[in-house]
Structure 1
Amino acid sequence: MDFLLYLYPISLAIISVFVFLLEWKWPWRPNQKQLRPRLWSDLLHLVFNGHFLGVILYGLGTALILPSFDNFLKASNLYDVAHRDLAASWPTWVQILIALFVTDFVHWCVHNLLHRVPFLWHFHKTHHSVADGEMDWIVAFRFQWTEVAVYKAIQYLPLAYFGFGYEAVMFHAIFGTLIGHLNHSNLNIDYGPLRYLLNNPRMHIWHHNYDATGRTTVNFG
């Protein structure tokens, strides 16, 4: 657990500096300022709204919550049918692929609901408060904290429940951070053939259409 807590902040810092330098060297919108208004508030969002909470929830779930839940399952004679630790025996690379696929699908489903359900949009609209000239890597973290807490619980607690290992969870956190940075960045890239599998800046900017009404936006990848 200590390893996870150290590795993610280091990875977040490296990815942030890397994408910041890419934007500085090859900006898609050259007139857009990197040191812009609201940058400092977005830095606070970065500190509190990364995958930190997800990693912590995974650790707490594994060490504290699930052992008690296991006792309940065993006492109720449900342990054998509850598929606890289903993924624990899988190779790490299989865990990584399944974790990425399942959590991405869950993310897509929840994201749709955030735009289509008025009550949920009330929370998600913070992320869409991006004005013209603000779309850059750090916008990936501009979320209301309540949304982050629910989102990460939905993503990371099932990983703990089904026994996904530290390596798979950390890969998910770091890869998700990298893709989130790039999707919101001021970079004109689409990953070539991988654009059919991965969201990218050219597509995601339409989801943040400044003239859209929010719940009617498109491209939920």
Structure 2
Amino acid sequence: MGSKNKLKRFRENETFTNVIQPTRQEVLDGFPLKGVWNTYFNNSNPIVLELGCGKGEYSIDLARKNPNINYIGIDIKGARFWRGAKTALEENLNNVAFLRTQIELVDLLFGENEVSEIWITFPDPQIKYTRTKHRLTNTEFLKKYHHILNPEGIVNLKTDSEFMHGYTLGLLHGEGHEILYAHHDIYKNYHAPKEVTSTQTFYESQYLEKGKPITYIKFRIRY
């Protein structure tokens, strides 16, 4: 994407009513929507996050299918989720918003027990050992998710990375978390949850065309 297009999208994002772009310092100083996100949506419906939402296809599709659930796509790259935010406005999807921030700040953006579900869709597996701290399913991230999720809250990990799938399963087993479902190739499993196979990201459809297996884990964090 050219720099001119990026700048244009950044400027458009600033005008979108469904895009929130706090500075890091604003989050550290006390984010005003923390614990009161339902005032933003003007309802008390469950809140679901998509971490690393990219272009926002997953959040948008889930919002279309579930009008009584509020979705928030989170990504630091605003030029990517510009497309999702624009689509949501064009379709009058009032139950989806986009938050431009770093995922490591998630526990400062949402209150305790405020979130019902988290989707982690095709994250960078951060394969190098030195990048372990950046994996979105490492112990520190799980603790952050546990803080903002309600007691029965669910985390979904969907990835094309066998490494990320195996790493996460091993960690979940080792720490005693509750694995509700796991499969290394969900499109070849007839018992896969419908919400997992009926919604796809742009890159996921490309992976499938190439015959690449898509893995999935659904779990609850127990501490």
- TM-score (normalised: structure 1): 0.26
Normalized per residue, which structure has more strand?
2
Larger Rg: 1
